[in-house]
Structure 1
Amino acid sequence: MLNPNRIENINYSNWTKKEWALIILYTLVSFQFYSYAGFNNTVIKLLLFLIVPIMFAICWKTFISKNANKLFRIMRGIIIITILSIFSAYLFWNQSIVLGYRAIAAGLTLIFYFYLYKRRPSIQSIETYIFVFGILYCVLWLYAMSKFPEPVFGFNEDGEVKEDLSRGMIRINFIGRISLIFAYFLSLNRAYTQKKKIYFVFATAFFIFIIMQVTRQLIIWSALVTIIYIFQKNRKLLIGGIVIFAFLFFFCKTIKFSQDSVIGTMITMTEEQMESSQHGDEDIRVTEYKYFFTEWSRNIITDVIGNGMPHGNSAYGKYYTQLQEQQKLFLSDVGYGQIFVITGWIGLFLYIVLFIKCCLIRMPEELMYTKMFMIFLLFANIAASWYAKADCQIAMCISIYLISVYAIPNVKKNHIQIS
């Protein structure tokens, strides 16, 4: 039985039709309408720049209210330090306030958490939303695949629409992949708690689509969290499953996969990268972490509060573009490095504490998918900046909101556990 923890006299109800319209519009604008090639990109971005302050105004009283919930305060701290980073970029990199806001606007999608906290929607509404956008991504991906090589979605810097033979198949990626993973965790959780075949079917279908994204990080961390969840109550099986998974994926060369297959080509790429590291070539992400943590910031102040996000039209943005072109160093490759660059030690501390707290908190069995997602996010941001994408931020808001409200008291903090 799910009972809100430490919350009194609050009614949890389904979203009304008007609220559904608002939430769907907010999501689509945040996703920039999946960067559909038929839409004007300038208009889409303008809508994004407008909807963030509108949502902020809706949630303002909740945002500034006194609240004893630690996760609530951390989320508020992240929003504040992100906004402060706009002024840091202005003061120390001479990037205008307008360009600073435009560069970071997508990162303020986290304000959605405060809307959820203000509205207190039912779990039924939230889970329906998760399924809708998980299924929608699958439908749009299939449509984009049917139109290949004509680009349909992902028509911006976050998208990738090309035939990538190095990965064994056509690679079509656009925003919404994290919605897919979130729906997968929800389906898997329901399959084991409700014992209904339909949810096993959904979980299997969603995982197949995850594989079809041909993104090793998403496959690896989704699979690892799955192993943890399935074997969580048997420590020996859990440890054994993780060891076998790691051995098969990274080290086993006696098991051969067809070079024409998705799995075969990704394993070959992994082996080539490992061999390169063994021959003395430093992994590019190690180089990126070293640079962004030791050479990017201009002074102790930007180390502490961050430098802000560079915009391509500013001198700050041109400096970053030059770094990308000449040294092949990308903020998007290192999630925690990007957090440090934008929001400094304060922001990095807040994000790490947020992730770890969400991994440690005990949750009811029916809501384990929230912790599964946060554990996935803790690891996935090591070698990519998923946290900064709108689809990931909305999934974060939902997970952290449900954890804030339904966490079971008396947390055991000596180890991470799913339940």
Structure 2
Amino acid sequence: MFDKKTIFIFFLIIFSLKFFDAVVANSGVLKNLCYAFMGIAIMISIPHFFKSKGGFILPIQILCVSILFSIFMARFSWGQELSYAATTIPYLIWFTFFYLLYAKIPISKIENIILIYGLIYMLLFLFQFTHTTVVYFGQHAEFVEDRGVVRVGFPGAGVFFLSCFIAVNKVTNLKTNMKYLWLAYAITGLVINILQVTRQAIFLMLIVYLFHFLSSIKLVYKVVTVAIFAIAAYAFFNIETPISKGLVEQQKQDVSAGGDYIRIRAADYFLTQFTPTDLGKVFGNGLYNNNSSYGKTVLALSDNYGFFLSDIGLVELYILFGIFAVIAYIMIFYKSFTIPLPKDYYYLKYYLWLLLVTCLTSDSIISTNFLITTVIVLYCYQYLYEIGKISRSHVAQISAINQ
């Protein structure tokens, strides 16, 4: 049975994703409703900002302050009016981490919510994939054929990847026949991922699946699993299908580009020529609104030169929110390796490692398609960290008494 706090997080996810970036939610009443809900969620979270410490608390506090301060940097560096500050609201959703920590919503309920949204994501993707003549979700003017298929990069990928990782975790941790249901869920997610023809995402999901299954089975099964994986990969890239041919051709183009690879050129420009003030080189330029002169400059760079901030991940984070935001993410990634987790919750690590691997070539660490999921993952991680800390303290007290 869902209580008020669980219902709150259920709606927080869908409003933060703006209904998977549905076209109907990009303006009008529905857009205002999304921003209003996020604004309220941020306001009720602020009083809990300093109530905890340890674990991921400090880097998330740094991120919150960096994003909030960036509102004034956009004004200082680019003269962008403070009336455009509402652009920052979806990114200030970081503050809700502290409300979640206060509310202490059970992780089992969060898992169920994420799995529901993961299934919704798959169904909506299939609908859009089979109705590509009209854009219902995302910022595309239209969908075009790319890499052998009409490419539909569906918004809201954070909940999709997390749901698939949860499903994989359940396959090996459950002893009942339900594990076959979760295996079907995970395989369906892999198929959906392949249909979106994003090479890095496909590769990473396969690696996570392979790593997870290999870490929990006997040696003979490991050999069989690797063999099946290798044969399947070989067959996929050697059978003449439009998707496999498109992926191979795109890889060849990127390799042949070398130093002229567009992402390298874009990163070099933004790091060396873009920021107009010395203060901006430390604290960032802030978020841009497309209607401001700052926003028009960024759009002109993408239209005229193909320099997209969203293609250069960590550089985008630095350009918008400054060096301290980058340091905060480095701390988060470091802690994802050093803070232990029970095996039932390895999916939290998998998600954070996905962000780590993609942080240079995509906007996964900053995109609102991932942000609310990242907040939830770190809440769950912090929740488990605090439970573990209490448990270790209790064991130490008993040990001291026995001595």
Match of 2:400 in 1: none
Match of 1:340 in 2: 318
Match of 2:248 in 1: 267
Report the Cα distance in structure 2 between the residues aligned to 1:21 and 1:123, rounded to whole angstroms. 14
Residues 191/170 of structure 1: CA separation in 2 closer, same or farther (3 Å cut):
same
Report the Cα distance in structure 2 between the residues aligned to 1:325 and 1:187, rounded to whole angstroms. 40
Amino acid at match of 2:345: L
Q: Secondary structure at the match of 1:295?
A: helix
Q: Normalising to structure 1: TM-score of the pair?
A: 0.83
Match of 2:333 in 1: 355
Q: Does 1:194 align with 2:199?
A: no
Residues 160/121 of structure 1: CA separation in 2 closer, same or farther (3 Å cut):
farther
Q: Normalising to structure 2: TM-score of the pair?
A: 0.86
2:162 to 169, 182, 206: 182
Q: Does 1:205 align with 2:183?
A: no
1:161-210 alpha-carbon deviations (Å, 9 max, x no partner): 5141x322222233222211111100001111114222111111111111
Q: Which moved more, 1:18-27 or 1:70-79?
A: 18-27
Match of 1:127 in 2: 111
Amino acid at match of 1:316: Y
Q: Secondary structure at the match of 1:386?
A: coil
Q: Which moved more, 1:166-175 or 1:112-121?
A: 166-175
Q: Secondary structure at the match of 1:172?
A: coil
Q: Secondary structure at the match of 1:150?
A: coil
1:207-228 alpha-carbon deviations (Å, 9 max, x no partner): 1111122222221222222333
Q: Does 1:63 align with 2:49?
A: yes
Displacement of 1:40 in angstroms is 6.2
Residues 245/298 of structure 1: CA separation in 2 closer, same or farther (3 Å cut):
farther
Q: Secondary structure at the match of 2:150?
A: strand
Structure with bigger helix share is: 2
Report the Cα distance in structure 2 between the residues aligned to 1:146 and 1:19, rounded to whole angstroms. 36
Q: Secondary structure at the match of 2:279?
A: helix
Match of 1:367 in 2: 345
Amino acid at match of 1:193: N
Displacement of 1:233 in angstroms is 7.0
Match of 1:412 in 2: none
User: Structure 2 matches for 1:138-157, cutoff 5 A?
Assistant: 138-154=122-138, 156=139
Displacement of 1:15 in angstroms is 4.2
Displacement of 1:253 in angstroms is 12
Retained in 1: the 8 A contact 2:42–2:93? Answer: no
Q: Secondary structure at the match of 1:309?
A: coil
Match of 1:103 in 2: 87
Displacement of 1:112 in angstroms is 2.9
Report the Cα distance in structure 1 between the residues aligned to 2:282 and 2:92, rounded to whole angstroms. 20
Amino acid at match of 2:106: S
Amino acid at match of 1:98: S
Displacement of 1:297 in angstroms is 2.0
Match of 1:48 in 2: 34
Displacement of 1:255 in angstroms is 5.9
Retained in 2: the 8 A contact 1:358–1:400? Answer: no
Displacement of 1:294 in angstroms is 1.9
Displacement of 1:90 in angstroms is 0.6
Retained in 1: the 8 A contact 2:237–2:248? Answer: no
Q: Secondary structure at the match of 1:388?
A: coil
Amino acid at match of 2:202: I
Displacement of 1:117 in angstroms is 0.6
Retained in 2: the 8 A contact 1:387–1:393? Answer: yes
1:236-285 alpha-carbon deviations (Å, 9 max, x no partner): 999xx99x989x98xx8996231x432231122112221232xxx52111
Retained in 2: the 8 A contact 1:29–1:44? Answer: no
Q: Does 1:78 align with 2:78?
A: no
Structure 2 stretches lacking a partner, 5+ long: 390-403
Retained in 1: the 8 A contact 2:236–2:244? Answer: no
Q: Does 1:384 align with 2:365?
A: no
Residues 125/340 of structure 1: CA separation in 2 closer, same or farther (3 Å cut):
same
Retained in 2: the 8 A contact 1:356–1:378? Answer: no
Match of 1:11 in 2: none
| Number of residue pairs the alignment of both structures matches | 384
Report the Cα distance in structure 2 between the residues aligned to 1:192 and 1:384, rounded to whole angstroms. 30
Amino acid at match of 1:310: Y
Match of 1:87 in 2: 72
Residues 169/254 of structure 1: CA separation in 2 closer, same or farther (3 Å cut):
closer
Retained in 2: the 8 A contact 1:106–1:388? Answer: no
Residues 161/359 of structure 1: CA separation in 2 closer, same or farther (3 Å cut):
farther
Report the Cα distance in structure 2 between the residues aligned to 1:205 and 1:344, rounded to whole angstroms. 39
Report the Cα distance in structure 2 between the residues aligned to 1:129 and 1:255, rounded to whole angstroms. 36
Match of 1:314 in 2: 292
Displacement of 1:381 in angstroms is 1.7
Report the Cα distance in structure 2 between the residues aligned to 1:53 and 1:102, rounded to whole angstroms. 9
Displacement of 1:78 in angstroms is 0.4
Q: Which moved more, 1:332-341 or 1:90-99?
A: 90-99
Residues 323/21 of structure 1: CA separation in 2 closer, same or farther (3 Å cut):
same
% of aligned pairs identical? Answer: 23
Report the Cα distance in structure 2 between the residues aligned to 1:217 and 1:160, rounded to whole angstroms. 24
